Structure 1
Amino acid sequence: MTRGARFKVALIGASGLLGRAVANELAAATQWQVVRTAFRHGDVNTVTLDIRDEGAVRAFISEQVPDAIVVAAAERRPDVCENDPALARALNVDALRFIASAAKDIGSWVLSISTDYVFDGTRPPYRPDDAPNPLNAYGRSKLDGEQALLRSGAQACVLRLPLLYGPVIDWGESAVTSLTPAIVESARGETPAMMDAWATRYPTFTPDVAVVIRQLLMRHEIGESVNGVTHWSGDEPMTKFDIAQTIARVLNIDARITAQHKPVDATPRPRNCHLASDVLEDLKIGQRTPFEAAIRAVMQNWPRPTTSL
């Protein structure tokens, strides 16, 4: 970065669940120049960009010349990836290769978001150097994307994250908030909500992740970049059954929730992919909001999201 120049960040995927949290954090806590992109929701403050279009990606990065690029755009729905592996590869692998190549050309650092689903969930907790073994197309595509980035020669960091939740514009944006309609309906009728009590997840609040990303960017700005693979995770083990009970308590409704103790998803999912976060913790990076406090803040907007209850 030129002496005296303003640090510039390209935030790719700024309209999504995590991207919005990162955009808000950087606007509130830094004086950086942040250029945001979105696939469909471009506006006067956001560049419309289809990351599947290599020419458009290269043009955007060469025109903007950011010091750092945060890639929060992806296809993250396991069932969609399983049914449309070509789409998963286009968004999670090929697009990252385009971004990495263009970033290498200008010397930009890339921070890309990956997932705990690169692991099979049989031997937690997982450290960054543990061998991946994804069980589904989503995990495989994200692992392939990691490898495409790290083998590109660009300065890069892969930040693996678990189940995310945060302020939503639609209940379906997160597998946490997507449980809400069934929870509410169970309190209205006679049919209980069946909730998975088999898989253990570590729900992680997007505003907390945004702080982690800001801190990683700050280290890059001062020449102390974290490169390679690293992990961040919430620290409360919860099944969807546990999550649903907490949501019902926060909403103060008498929900009827039944535990499902065997996996029922059509797409295979790992049982417990707890990510060890000690590498970032040792660098004094991180923030964790207790789940009940965070989901209470999210639910204060209930039923504002567009999915009707």
Structure 2
Amino acid sequence: MKTILTTGSNGLLGQKLTEKILAEGRVKLVATSKGANRYPVKDGYGYAEMDILNAFQVREVIEMYSPDAIVHTAAMTNVDTCEANKVLCRQLNVDAVQNLISICEEKSIQLIYLSTDFVFDGADGPYKEEDAVNPVSYYGESKVLAEALLKNSKANWTILRTILVYGITSDMSRSNIVLWAKEALEKSSPINVVNDQWRMPTLAEDLAEACLLAVEKNAKGIYHVSGKDYMSIADLVRKVADYWGLDQSFINEISSASLNQTAKRPIRTGFVLDKTIRDLDYRPHSFEEGLVILDQQMKKYN
């Protein structure tokens, strides 16, 4: 049985990986994150504090556990913060990846790297894996730079690009567009939602499954991983309102330009999933199925 080490295990994807591995036992797990372990179950796997900016600590932890694969979920993902603080963004999203690549090359460890639809400019989505990248934000640029490091390395690498991940953790500590919309509408708070950006939202459980499949199949190359439904952000929020029976009159549709955000967003992304479905046997849920899963988890956690 393979051992995988996850970075960023306190994040949404990190926690879903822990949950899935503990439930299914397909691999052994070493979870790592900056600070204490926030996952409620502490048994059945290893945990180590690891700051991905601390190159010495990263090497020490990896050498201690000798994993077969590393699933690198830790990153700076707030698009506007990345634009405003490019130095820190580069350290977290590029330099830290180079450090992991060097160790993985040296020790023949598979490196699963989480990337994003924001590597594309959004002029012509949905995109295939081989389509030309052209980021419109520094966040996207940092991911393109890290992808290039992997492609030019001798490491056994896998890039999983994903889109707008949603889900829930047991401590409700991680927000995302689905939870944000639901909570605001439940309070009858008016919300501004863009109607000129299109995405394929990804259930966190589906992304976690893709990570495990990539390890189990020793996949090499780039794979697109998302949900299968293509929709505008406004449509997404209306589907959330529909599912929970919330008042849609509080949804105010606006254009991206009127938001005045620090970083530009791509207009139409979305993925062609054929390669991932064929090579990894990836089977994503529909958005409606994802909301059912989310609803069931909320009832369990509350």
TM-score by length of 2: 0.89
CA deviation vs aligned residue, 1:15-57 (integer Å, no higher than 9, x gap): 1111111122222223422100011233754211100111111
Alignment of 1:54-203 (within 5 A): 54-168=55-169, 169-170=171-172, 173-185=175-187, 187=188, 192-203=190-201
Distance 1:305 1:77 in 2: 26
Q: CA deviation at 1:303?
A: 9.3
Alignment of 1:21-32 (within 5 A): 21-32=16-27
Distance 1:95 1:153 in 2: 17
Q: CA deviation at 1:182?
A: 2.7
Distance 1:148 1:261 in 2: 35
Q: Is the 8 A contact 1:51 1:95 kept in 2?
A: yes
Q: CA deviation at 1:201?
A: 1.1
Query: Closer, same or farther in 2 for the Cα pair 1:67/1:302, shift >3 Å?
Result: closer
Distance 1:47 1:131 in 2: 38
Q: CA deviation at 1:296?
A: 3.4
Residue 253 (structure 2) aligned to one of 222, 241, 259: 259
Amino acid at match of 1:216: A
Distance 1:148 1:66 in 2: 21
Does the alignment pair 1:238 with 2:223? no
Between the two proteins, the alignment pairs up a number of residues equal to: 292
Q: Is the 8 A contact 1:193 1:258 kept in 2?
A: yes
Q: Is the 8 A contact 1:68 1:217 kept in 2?
A: yes
Distance 1:176 1:80 in 2: 21
Structure 1: tracts of 5 or more residues without a match: 1-5, 221-225
Report the counterpart of residue 20 of structure 1 in structure 2.
Answer: 15
Distance 2:232 2:47 in 1: 36
Q: Is the 8 A contact 1:7 1:67 kept in 2?
A: yes
Alignment of 1:34-53 (within 5 A): 34-42=29-37, 45-53=46-54
Distance 1:90 1:173 in 2: 24
CA deviation vs aligned residue, 1:159-184 (integer Å, no higher than 9, x gap): 10111001234475323322233322
Report the counterpart of residue 288 of structure 2 in structure 1.
Answer: 292
Q: Is the 8 A contact 2:94 2:143 kept in 1?
A: yes
Report the counterpart of residue 283 of structure 1 in structure 2.
Answer: 279
Q: Is the 8 A contact 2:185 2:247 kept in 1?
A: no
Q: Is the 8 A contact 2:213 2:280 kept in 1?
A: no
Q: CA RMSD in A?
A: 2.2
Report the counterpart of residue 266 of structure 2 in structure 1.
Answer: 270
Amino acid at match of 1:75: M
SS of residue paired to 1:52? coil
Q: Is the 8 A contact 1:176 1:240 kept in 2?
A: no
Distance 1:153 1:301 in 2: 41
SS of residue paired to 2:227? coil
SS of residue paired to 1:229? strand
SS of residue paired to 2:177? coil
Query: Closer, same or farther in 2 for the Cα pair 1:201/1:60, shift >3 Å?
Result: same
TM-score by length of 1: 0.87
Structure 2: tracts of 5 or more residues without a match: none
Identity over aligned pairs, percent: 27
